[in-house]
Amino acid sequence: MNKNWFRKLFPRLQPAAAPRTRALAEAGDREAQFALGMTYGAGPDGLRDLPRARAWLERAAGQEHVLAQFNLAQMYAGGQGGEPDPAAAEHWLRRAAAHGDPGAQYQLGLRCQRAGFQTDLPAATEARIEAFKWFELAADQGYGPAASARETLNLSLNRAELAEARRRAAAFAVEVAA
């Protein structure tokens, strides 16, 4: 009963696979790099090493591993494994969202929504439109909290803003599919 839930998702995290995973990661395999990053980031106390986790996730993220990009963004945002770096967090979050990760899209929507409450009117409107776009994209993939956030945000948009947000979401979906 002492097994972490994520071990079911990432079979390479099993202790017996560790030497092979490390060899693959060092040879440049992005899945193995991601597995090591997750192992060091969420492993048991003896194996938990956040700076190493961040380093392995960065290597995988640099090879367009979307889950590594998302997790790396979270580490940079929270200062896990080093100093917080909001710019790096934003960079990796945007890359993961651009690759279609619904969790990253939802988080980006939240960031845009918060910015919409902290700026002047033209910038606030733009931020709300972008937030709706990201919520729409995440909700369309079945990401639960995004649908609720989208509907709540819908109340603060006028018809033209809503139409623009939906147009952007549709254009993004077409662009990603191409």
pLDDT tens over the chain, length 178 residues: 344 444 445 544 556 567 888 899 999 999 999 999 998 888 766 678 999 999 999 999 999 999 999 999 999 999 999 999 999 999 999 999 999 999 999 999 999 999 877 767 788 899 999 999 999 999 999 998 999 999 999 998 999 999 999 999 999 988 887 7
Cα–Cα dist 158/150, whole Å: 14
Q: What is the pLDDT of residue 11?
A: 42
71 and 10, same domain (yes or no): yes
Report yes or no on 33 lying in a domain: yes
| Domain presence at residue 54 | yes
What whole-number distance in Å separates Cα of residue 169 and Cα of residue 130? 9
Q: How far is 150 from 152, CA to CA, in rounded Å?
A: 5
pLDDT of residue 117: 77
- Domain end, chosen from 50, 85, 120, is at 85
Range of the domain at 158: 103-177
Looking at the structure, do residues 78 and 110 belong to the same domain, yes or no?
Answer: no
R_g (Cα) of the chain, nearest Å: 18
Helices (H), the chain: 18-26, 30-42, 50-62, 66-78, 86-98, 102-116, 121-140, 144-154, 159-177
* Domain boundary residue, one of 24, 58, 85: 85
Per-residue exposure over 125-161, b if at least 16 CB sit within 10 Å of its own CB, e if not = bbbbbbbbbbbbbbbbeebeebbebbeebeebbeeeb
Q: pTM of the full predicted structure?
A: 0.84
Please say which residue of 25, 56, 85 terminates a domain.
85
Instruction: Give the pLDDT confidence score for residue 178 in this predicted structure.
Output: 74
State the pLDDT at residue 85: 97
Number of domains in the chain: 2
